[in-house]
Structure 1
Amino acid sequence: MRSRRRRLLVVPALLCALVVPMARPAHAMGDGKGTPSRNGTGTGGDSALSGQVVQLYEDAALATQRYEEGRQEAEVQRAEAQRIEALLDRERREIGVLHEDLGRIARAQYRSGGGMPLTAQILLAKSPDQLMRGQHVLSQTSLVVNNAIEKSRRAEKRLAADEAKAAAAWQGLEKRNAELAELKKGIEQKLEQARWQLQGKADAAVAAGSCPGAVRLDQSKKDFPSAWVAPVESYALSAAFGSGGLRWANRHTGQDFAVPIGTPVRAVGDGRVVKVACAGAFGMEVVVRHAGGYYTQYAHLASVAVDQDERVDTGQWIGQSGTTGNSTGPHLHFEVRVTPEMGSAVDPVPWLTARGVRLG
């Protein structure tokens, strides 16, 4: 299943560091052969913090969605406000024309004597017919003037209403955008704080060489169209399999996914957990055995959500990403192996591609 490409929350590409092949840490959980050494559900504080990070991720995603919806709505409102502004300009021009018409009518009345008192018109009229014609012209002119004045008043009233509507639209737009931006900022600040609290607890556990036990995460039910998925939903690819670097003894043995601390990490396919360890170069790690004799490793985690010997399904959350162990920053180190231990890795990108999962 193709994962979505980079998002705003994706951190810069970071490298993970591996040391030369070593013996498995003595404090790893279990013996790597499917025999669990302990079952834990995590401390109440760990569970609450991990759950808080997951919830804040969901809240941040929802806030981002609403922000984007608001931004799109703002564009619609902006177009409407611009349409109203264009209408206002047209109305202003029409009012200007009406005022010019009134001026022409007034000037014409003055030139034609339409403004003379009735007594003067009677005295100056040469005949009753001329007087009647003058009166008719005066009546018609007065009607035209009154109609023009009324039309101008209606236009000015409509203009004032439209100007108020345009101003309200702009004010509403600015207020909504400010509220959405503030909401998004607040959630992201809480999320960032919770991430590093989670990482701090993980670092303490790794330093002590003791896994706190599985921290169960409340995952929404989701049906996957394929039997295989990418280990994280949203990511940026960083260090690739076989790449060189000063922090590796030989070559990079996996594929790195640059993701923020606390990102839910998924089992790429159905399988059984054969190893959960919390010390050494990989920090917190989970290894899952799949059908066909392949194993997948998920390393540098900030929490684990499964216990050894547990069955997992495609897409099931098995932990949260972090930067424990020999790591330069938040990311997931993902390996595909032919044994549960390091030293047997194969390139995970073509391996996933062959199973219908294209990364990128």
Structure 2
Amino acid sequence: MRLPWRHPLLVPVVLCALAVLAARPTDAAEKRRDGADPGISAQVARLYEDAAVATQQYEKGRQEAEAQRARAQRLEALLDRERRDIAVLHEDLGRIARTQYRDGGGLPLTAQIILAGSPEELMRGQQVFSQANLAVNNSIEKSRRAEERLAKDEAKAVAAWQSLEKRKAELAALKTDIEQKLEEARGQLQGQADTSVAAGACRGAVRLDQPPTQVVGGWVAPVETYALSAGFGSGGSRWANRHTGQDFAVPIGTPVRSVGAGRVVKVSCGGPFGIEIVIEQAGGYYTQYAHLAAVTVDQGDQVVPGQWIGQSGTSGNSTGPHLHFEVRVTPELGSAVDPVPWLAARGVPLG
């Protein structure tokens, strides 16, 4: 009979590293250098930062889970072999019993003495009888040991699959918990952004701990993980003329990075772009980051490639969470160039 626990193992390994994150509260003592409380912005930023660390452990966790699944499958294979061996033992017992019956091995000793033609014949019969009994006893003992071993191995297999089921349930619970917390934090962050845009006044920069950056070539994409949506020059009812930038579809709160070294020349809250940042880059170009939920820089700040300058959102004239990114030859709207080949020429292909 087959064990009922055989199934593919589904392990969202990233969640193992998020267990601590799911329970970690916002540190009320974490303050801006100028005294402002980063609040929900810091909480969302930490969620993203810890998730990035967790993804580095994904492969290790997946390999460990696969090894555990392989061990459980090896136990199943062992059980299959043991079941077949026991079936063979049972066949041997039946064959020995049938042979004894045909050869008179089951006759009482008194009957064998009476029917024996000579002492030699009696001795031979007794020898055959003893050998048959020994074979039966050995087979019974071998079968008993095999069945005991089978029972132990079945218990091990059950425990292995139950362990996997328990871990899967724990991971599912963690996944649900972190998704709920992140969704709530995103909602609060965007709510603060909408309030700022409606008032036409920014809350000011939220100074967050910056992750270590390793930039090759001096340029990076404005977000680390993304899906490209509306491109430069796209037409549509949402824009007065043509789309002037490249949109990156990302969730609310995604860290937004400066694509290169430069100086912040504009931070504003209001109008069709919602919360936006404009940075003067090397070579006389300007980059714009719009529809943000929060900013982490102030006008006049110097920034380095890969530095977090804000968090994505859906403020202003936006139909959903995304980053609107532009490259301009002046700080103002109307001087945009296609940002995709511009970044590609600087060693940052998008796709």
Which category describes the TM-score, using the shorter chain as reference length?
0.7 to 0.9
> In the alignment, what sits opposite 1:160?
151
Code of the aligned partner of 2:232: F
Contact 1:64-1:184 within 8 A present in 2 as well: no
* CA distance in 2: counterparts of 1:165 and 1:112, whole angstroms: 44
> In the alignment, what sits opposite 2:111?
120
- TM-score (normalised: structure 2): 0.86
C-alpha distance after superposition, 1:166-205 (max 9, x if no partner):
1111111111011111101111111011101011111111
C-alpha distance after superposition, 1:97-129 (max 9, x if no partner):
211211111121122222222232222222121
Contact 1:60-1:187 within 8 A present in 2 as well: no
In the TM superposition, 1:86-235 aligns within 5 A as: 86-235=77-226
5+ residue gaps, structure 1, are: 1-7, 9-38
Moved more, 52-61 or 301-310: 52-61
5+ residue gaps, structure 2, are: 1-13, 15-31
Q: What is the RMSD of the two structures over their aligned residues, measured on CA atoms?
A: 2.2
Moved more, 260-269 or 87-96: 87-96
Q: Is 1:43 equivalent to 2:65 in the alignment?
A: no
Cα gap change, 1:223 to 1:74, in 2 (>3 Å): closer
Give the C-alpha shift of residue 43 in structure 1.
3.5
* CA distance in 2: counterparts of 1:199 and 1:170, whole angstroms: 43
> In the alignment, what sits opposite 1:272?
263
Give the C-alpha shift of residue 70 in structure 1.
5.5
In the TM superposition, 1:48-67 aligns within 5 A as: 48-60=39-51
Contact 2:265-2:278 within 8 A present in 1 as well: yes
Code of the aligned partner of 2:36: T
* CA distance in 2: counterparts of 1:232 and 1:41, whole angstroms: 27
> In the alignment, what sits opposite 1:341?
332
* CA distance in 2: counterparts of 1:222 and 1:184, whole angstroms: 28
Cα gap change, 1:210 to 1:190, in 2 (>3 Å): same
Q: Give the ranges of 4+ consecutive aligned residues of structure 1 lying more than 3 Å apart after TM superposition.
A: 39-43, 58-83
Give the C-alpha shift of residue 145 in structure 1.
1.0
Code of the aligned partner of 2:197: V
Aligned with 2:247 (options 245, 248, 256) = 256
- TM-score (normalised: structure 1): 0.84
Contact 1:261-1:330 within 8 A present in 2 as well: yes
Paired residue total: 321
Look up the SS of the partner of 1:292 in the other structure.
helix
Contact 1:40-1:213 within 8 A present in 2 as well: no
> In the alignment, what sits opposite 2:26?
none
Moved more, 71-80 or 340-349: 71-80
* CA distance in 2: counterparts of 1:155 and 1:86, whole angstroms: 15
* CA distance in 1: counterparts of 2:33 and 2:187, whole angstroms: 23
Contact 1:285-1:297 within 8 A present in 2 as well: yes
Cα gap change, 1:102 to 1:40, in 2 (>3 Å): closer
Moved more, 295-304 or 109-118: 109-118
* CA distance in 2: counterparts of 1:107 and 1:225, whole angstroms: 82
* CA distance in 2: counterparts of 1:219 and 1:62, whole angstroms: 14
Contact 1:228-1:314 within 8 A present in 2 as well: yes
Greater relative contact order (CA < 8 Å, ≥ 6 in sequence): 1
Code of the aligned partner of 1:346: V
* CA distance in 1: counterparts of 2:212 and 2:54, whole angstroms: 21
Give the C-alpha shift of residue 222 in structure 1.
2.3
Q: Is 1:288 equivalent to 2:279 in the alignment?
A: yes
Give the C-alpha shift of residue 87 in structure 1.
2.7
Cα gap change, 1:68 to 1:187, in 2 (>3 Å): farther
Cα gap change, 1:133 to 1:220, in 2 (>3 Å): same
Paired-residue identity, %: 75
C-alpha distance after superposition, 1:224-257 (max 9, x if no partner):
2231000000111111011111121111111011
